[in-house]
Structures are given as structure tokens and as C-alpha cells.
């Protein structure tokens, strides 16, 4: 009976596995690398996106819209600033639906927690630029983005240090090798988040998300986010199709990036209030950037 050698081999194997794990990236390191990549993508970025929201029905795990989706189309430009590119400026113009066409929003986000987010809103009906009272955006309930299931919390990046991370599993997922990483909000984050836990499926080679799962404050599954149509554009991997499924409200939102230009030169002057009211200047600049659309 070859019991003793079997157990010895298992013990040796267990010890061998541990050192190998220590040489790979930590969960925190993976998330930081992914966050840095997202900031690089947002630095000099022009995109035209369609955001669709609907109630859904399920049949054999296949979900589909149970009503005509509400569609918003927007064009956005963003640029990162600061020594670590953690500050950002961005402008978004709503193109559809007709009732909201022309609404423009300019936002300045700062990594420094002592600096409030600054934002200005242009309403075409009023013809005026208004400074908004927004604070940091994180000291209040997460706000729905354009009435979709995405909240401001779902869209933000740069808060890597506010979570503790652990690798739960590694292996193949949808033909890609992934880490499954658990993120638990630290106490300061727990006060201003909708989520008690998040899980991320991170592509090991590309450091992109393939899937994310959030849990509500009672620990129940809340939202599932699927990332599809992942392409390499100018050396960056981006998901052009992101679907957020709210399991509790039975509603989903899909964001399709119809056209995107990465790593383009965006003049600092473009990310100012001028762009909200000087339409001739805005279109002149956007036309020059749109030629890089992919």
C-alpha cells in the first residue's frame, strides 16, 4: 500500500504551490494595474456611446428586453491630469433622445480627497451654463447615470485603496484565463456604497474585466456586469459592449461604444465652459477628433 509516499508527495506539492503564488501579482496589485490601464484609456479619449435601459425577462438563462428600451446617445471627451494621471476632466453631450438633446455636462474630478468634484451643466432650453453643487460625489447616495442601472459608483475609477482584495480562484472562464478577485469595502467606503462585496473576473493576460458581480448590504446578489466585444485598439484592450443586469429590479442597461478614439490629443481649452456654449468651436474640434474614430 503506497500511502506514505502519496501523502508526502501531496504535502510537497502543497508547499510548492504556495511559493509560486507569492511570486505572482497580489490581488491589490492586479486591481491597481487594471485601474492604471483604465486611466490610460481615459487619457485623450473621444467616444460615442449608446446607453439602453429596459426591464428584462428570462428564459433558460437567456435574458431579453421585455419592453422597448430607453435609449440615450452621448458623445464624451476625457483627459487625465496630475502626476499620476489620477485627476480627470471630461465633457459629455447628449445627442438622443430628442427631449434631452444638447444637454452638456463638464466635470473636473480630483484625486485629492480634500478637493470637491466640480461640474457645470448646460441646458439648451435655458441657454446658460450653471455650476452644480456636487461635492465629491461620494458623500451621498450613488446617483443613476442618465436614468440607467449604472450608478456613479459603477462608473468611477481610482478608488482602489478603499477596498481589501483577495484572489478567490484562478482558471479558465469564457476561453480566457482569469483571476476571480473579491473586493470588500473598507469602513470609510462602506458608508457611501450600495455594495457589501464585489467580485471581479480579471483577464490575466489583458488585465481587463470579463465579468463583475456585486452584492447588496444584506449580502444578496445585486448586479452582474458582463463585458463583451473586447478589442485591442492602439494597444489598449477595451470592452465595447458592457451590460449591467440588476437582478433585484429585473432591469438591465447596456452601454455600447459605437465609436472610440484613444490616445488623441485633446486641448486643455476644449475641457472648459467654452465648449458648452460655443457650438461652432465644439464642432470644429470634435470633427478633427472624429477622424480617429475606430
Partner 1 sequence: MNTYKTTLLVAALALQSSVITAEDFLGGGDFDFDSSEIETQAPHWTDGFKTTLAHNHTQVPGDINREQSSLQIEFERNLAEGWYLQLDSRYRYFWHEDDFAENRGDAYHNIKWQRASIQYSQGACTATLGRQGLIWGSVEGTFVTDIVTPFDYTEQLLTDYGTVRLHQDMLVGECFSGKAQLQAFYTPEAKNDIYQHHPLQITLAPGAPPLTLDADPDEEFGLRFKWHGSGFDLSLMAARLFDNTPTPVFLGPTSGFEAQLAQFNMLGAASSVAVGRLLIKAEAAYRSQQITPISGDKDSRADVALGFEFTTRTNHMLNGGIWAARFQDQQAKQQDFEVLTVGWRKTYLNDDLTMSLLGNRSSEPKFSMVTVLADYQWNDYLSTSFALTLADLNSTTPIPIAPAEESATLSIKYEF
Closer residue to partner 1 (CB): 40 or 100: 100
Cell of 81: 491630469
CB of 277 to partner 1, least distance (A): 8
Residue among 162, 147, 73 at smallest CA distance from 113: 162
User: CA-to-CA distance for 43 and 87, rounded, in angstroms?
Assistant: 10
Nearest to partner 1 of 40, 170 (CB atom): 170
What is the closest distance, in whole angstroms, from the C-beta atom of residue 281 to partner 1 in the complex?
Answer: 4
Q: Which residues pair with 288 in a beta bridge?
A: none
Q: Is the Cβ–Cβ distance between 187 and 164 less than 8 Å?
A: no
C-alpha distances out from residue 191 to 141, 187, 229, Å: 10, 7, 34
Measure CA of the first residue to CA of the last residue in the chain; give whole Å: 65
- Residue 126 has, within 13 A of its CA and on its CB side, a CA count of 9
**CB 235 to partner 1: min, Å:** 25
Q: Is 207 left (phi over 0), alpha (psi -120 to 50) or beta?
A: left
Cα 107 to Cα 87: distance, rounded to the nearest angstrom: 11
Nearer to partner 1 among residue 40 and residue 70 (C-beta): 70
Other C-beta atoms closer than 10 Å to the C-beta of 259 total 14
CB of 40 to partner 1, least distance (A): 26
Q: Which is nearer to partner 1, 14 or 83 (CB)?
A: 14
Q: Which CB sits closer to partner 1, 60 or 235? A: 60
Query: Which C-beta is closer to partner 1: that of 38 or that of 148?
Result: 148
CB of residue 154 vs partner 1: minimum separation in angstroms? 15
Smallest distance, partner 1 to C-beta of residue 262, A: 20
Q: What are phi and psi of 100, to 5 degrees?
A: -115, 5
Amino acid at each position: 500500500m503506497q500511502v506514505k509516499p502519496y501523502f508526502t508527495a501531496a504535502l510537497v506539492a502543497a508547499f510548492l504551490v504556495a511559493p509560486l503564488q507569492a511570486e505572482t501579482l497580489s490581488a491589490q496589485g492586479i486591481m491597481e494595474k487594471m485601474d492604471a490601464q483604465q486611466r490610460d484609456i481615459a487619457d485623450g479619449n473621444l467616444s460615442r456611446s449608446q446607453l439602453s435601459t429596459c426591464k428584462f425577462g428570462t428564459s433558460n438563462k437567456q435574458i431579453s428586453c421585455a419592453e422597448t428600451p430607453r435609449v440615450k446617445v452621448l458623445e464624451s471627451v476625457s483627459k487625465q491630469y496630475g502626476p499620476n494621471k489620477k485627476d480627470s476632466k471630461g465633457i459629455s453631450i447628449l445627442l438622443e433622445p430628442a427631449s434631452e438633446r444638447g444637454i452638456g455636462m463638464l466635470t473636473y474630478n480630483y484625486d485629492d480627497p480634500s478637493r470637491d468634484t466640480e461640474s457645470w451643466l448646460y441646458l439648451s432650453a435655458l441657454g446658460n451654463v450653471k455650476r452644480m453643487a456636487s461635492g465629491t460625489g461620494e458623500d451621498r447616495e450613488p446617483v443613476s447615470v442618465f436614468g440607467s442601472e449604472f450608478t456613479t459608483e459603477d462608473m468611477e475609477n481610482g478608488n482602489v485603496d478603499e477596498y481589501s482584495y483577495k484572489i478567490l480562484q484562478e482558471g479558465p472562464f469564457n476561453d480566457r484565463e482569469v483571476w476571480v478577485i473579491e473586493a470588500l469595502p473598507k469602513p470609510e467606503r462602506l458608508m457611501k456604497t450600495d455594495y457589501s462585496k464585489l467580485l471581479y473576473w480579471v483577464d490575466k493576460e489583458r488585465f481587463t474585466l470579463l465579468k463583475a458581480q456585486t452584492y447588496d448590504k444584506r449580502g444578496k446578489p445585486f448586479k452582474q456586469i458582463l463585458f463583451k466585444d473586447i478589442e485591442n485598439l492602439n494597444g489598449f484592450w477595451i470592452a465595447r459592449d458592457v451590460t449591467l443586469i440588476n437582478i433585484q429590479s429585473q432591469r438591465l442597461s447596456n452601454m455600447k461604444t459605437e465609436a472610440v478614439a484613444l490616445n488623441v490629443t485633446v486641448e486643455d481649452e476644449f475641457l472648459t465652459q467654452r465648449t458648452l456654449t460655443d457650438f461652432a468651436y465644439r464642432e470644429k474640434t470634435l470633427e478633427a477628433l472624429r477622424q480617429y474614430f475606430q
